[in-house]
Amino acid sequence: MSQLERSPRTRTYLMCPPEHFTVEYTINPWMDTTVAVDAAQALKQWESLRTTLVDLGHVVHVLDARPGLPDMVYSANGAFSVDGTVYGARFRYPQRADEAVAHQAFYDTAGAWRFVAPQHVNEGEGDFAYLPAAYGGIVLAGYGFRTDPAAHAEAQEVLGRPVISLRLVDPAFYHLDTALAALDDRHVTYYPEAFSEASQRVLAQLFPDAVLADRADAEAFGLNLVSDGRHVVLNTDAVDMGHKVRAAGYHPVHVDLSELKRGGGSVKCAVAELRPAQR
């Protein structure tokens, strides 16, 4: 990968402030109900992330937070959009079910979107990643803990893009976006051992020049990142991961999201990418 390829592309994102964020139940290994969340700090950190993305030249839409939905700050889980079509989410756990309704309302009122409600359980960009310049445009899709594999076939029919199913095998990395990230429109970084042996072979064949992460990178949520093709936004704990992406020609931008990590998410979990129809 030549560093000359590392040019940013302006993106449009959707975020939701952590106005009601708490850890009051446990649905992933990172959540600990015995440790109180600093709500003011969480909001300050979220605002720093939003400002960082805006300062990098991107557009950030804000989804209003709703009482009783403490995980709504993880806006990436609410849907998955490709070229103006939105495949809605259907959450595995009932505590988060109403988040899907809030996201659908956003797309219904925003205009210019074709929203398709899902029949199968899936958690949006938590388990889907789109690479528009890889093999003509493919979707990588995770399963094993949250998303039903049947949702992969459903997403392929809805979006009209090939969907590659990847099996997650480590409960610590329960969503695809904790184990793999798109660095630009054709390149990825991932932690191999988060996937089954067969899925590791698939990834190695598709992305022989991928940036490989180790377990320490993944446990620091270093793969839960957002990249515009040059600037890679990742949390401050992911120091070694920052070195790896820099060595690959990208520019790491660190943001402190220590409070949001208490709920099992970091940068990517808090940021959904909106992909409008191509003109």
Among all residues, which ones are annotated catalytic? 175, 269
DSSP string for residues in 29-44: TT--TTS---HHHHHH
Angle 49-141-168 from CA coordinates, rounded to 5°: 90
Residue 60 three-state SS: strand
Do 44 and 53 contact (CB within 8 A), yes or no? no
Contact yes or no for 50/60 (Cβ under 8 A): yes
Please list, in sequence order, all residues whose beta carbon lies within 8 angstroms of the beta carbon of residue 51, skipping any fewer than 6 positions away: none
Q: Is 181 helix (H, G, I), strand (E, B) or coil?
A: strand
For residue 56, CA distances in Å to 49, 187, 222, 232, 256 come to 11, 20, 20, 11, 17
